Amino acid sequence: MLETHEIQRALVITAHPDDVDFGAAGAVANMTDAGIEVTYCLVTDGDAGGFDQTIARPQMALMRREEQCRAGKEVGVESLIFLGMADGRVEYNVQLRCALSRVIREVRPQRVLVQSPELNLARLYASHPDHLAAGQASIAAIYPDARNPFAYPELLAEGLEPWAVSEMWVMGIPVNPAEELHVEDVTDNVERKIRALLHHKTQHQDPVGTEQRVRGFLLAAGKRYGLAEGRSAEVFRVVDTR
């Protein structure tokens, strides 16, 4: 894993608003505290989310963008890119790979956080089809697409030179528990993570219950992966992509 001083910019790619806040907002807060510039890339606006059927879907999309912007500020993120693809209809295809390669070349991050492309039946809520497609396309954009000058000539025509990401963090506990994991101690930033998560008001019918579940999950991860008693963790697979 790269040392903190080797990272100037990080990019987080997720399918929906709030995905990063569930999966990585504590780690993001740690990064921005360390002086790393973090950008969020949202593949969709989350227009198929929420519980209130009286809200028109274009209005929901706007609300969710605003919620994600407020959530980002809680953990030090001011730069957000919205691709505006249809929620619930994300596909792993060349169009998405090209769009994410464009973002990588624009941001030029050393580290990219992505969602897992693995279907995990033990944690089905984390295996939303949009998550899987976004994860798979993100990985393809990291390697080989964004670094390959011949992959998308239109990006070169836009003045976007190839960029090789050095390190990829995959969110979520993998299907194979034997894989080596990075356990990020987020204890000092749990409150910021919770505040970020609760900015997504359109998504929480029971905010108190959501907060309790997330706090419990973080504490359980810290205990399971060897942190001291009472410490909280987010867990990632770190892949050297140099």
112-165: per-residue pLDDT in tens? 999 999 998 877 878 899 999 999 999 999 999 999 999 999 999 999 999 999
At 177 the pLDDT is: 64
pLDDT for res 178:
61
Give the per-residue pLDDT at 225: 93
Q: Pick 6-240's CATH classification: 3.90.110.10, 3.40.50.10320, 3.40.50.300, 3.30.70.580.
A: 3.40.50.10320
State the pLDDT at residue 76.
98
- pLDDT for the residue numbered 125: 77
Residue spans of the chain under pLDDT 50:
none
Query: Tokens for 142?
Result: 């990291």
| Element holding 94 (H helix, E strand) | helix 94-107
What is the model's pLDDT at position 228? Answer: 98
Tokens representing 87 are 């929620």
d(CA 102, CA 104): 5
Q: Cα 199 vs. chain centroid, distance in angstroms?
A: 16
- CA distance linking residue 123 with residue 195, whole number of Å: 24
Q: Cα(181)–Cα(45) distance, rounded to whole angstroms?
A: 30
